[in-house]
Chain A
Amino acid sequence: MDLVTEITILVLAAFVGFEVISKVPTTLHTPLMSQTNAIHGIVLLGGLIVIGYANSTLDEVIGFIAIIFGTINIVGGFMVTDRMLEMFGTKKKAPAPAETSAEAGKDTE
């Protein structure tokens, strides 16, 4: 693929990223960060590709470490984000809605 096409993709992705991410509320910034952290674990792909043409022990060691780092990034990142978002999610099902509506009623009295 030629460089200009790749830069085109990059620029468009940047605009999409800004558009979508600026709508994430402050409350969810920590899970957003850990989720995007997991997404940059996509570098694992690079590790998988370069290990394919490793032809010395040093290259194998470099690639091996890169694959471990990338995998930790992906697995750890998505799992810890899930743990956090689970805490945010359960709030909705808990007695909270009833309480808040009762409160809202009280406020308007």
Chain B
Amino acid sequence: MDAKRETPPAGRSRVLRLVVNGDLHEVLVTPRHTLLDVIRGELGLKGTKEGCTTGSCGVCTVHNDRGEAILSCLTPALEWDGESITTIEGLESGGRLAPIQQAFVEHHAVQCGYCTPGVIMSAQAILNATPEPAEADINDGLAGVICRCTGHIKVKEAVRNAWRYAGGAGPAPGGSHD
């Protein structure tokens, strides 16, 4: 979606009030804008990627206010009026990566990186629901995101080890392995 559009698209526009990563935004959107359109286009938060736009790849995953994973590409933006969401940009605090993000770096759970924001948001949603997830919890929680590079092997390793990176200094870079 181009924020600098010259001709408004068809459909009646309405003001959407949406809290994203703690900041309130008011944007004019039409019924055919998805939540992803607003995040990437209107708000310019490009960390959330656009993939299939049909709910089959998961790279657009963000969190609702309960910290659950939702596919922003399938969600009409106007249904989220008055809601609060978190995107990949909202995971870190003050330039410090969240433990799950640090775990992804240290465990090489990132390759091309295109799906990574969606995979990390899915992984964080698992940890939000289950701080000590079992293998089945991890498998289920990541099932909606397709990562073509990692085979999910080091991704799962990072999720299992995310707790190591909580609360300050983690292990030496690249040191941990299971």
Q: Do A and B come from one complex?
A: no
List B residues at the A interface (Cβ < 8 Å): none
List A residues at the B interface (Cβ < 8 Å): none
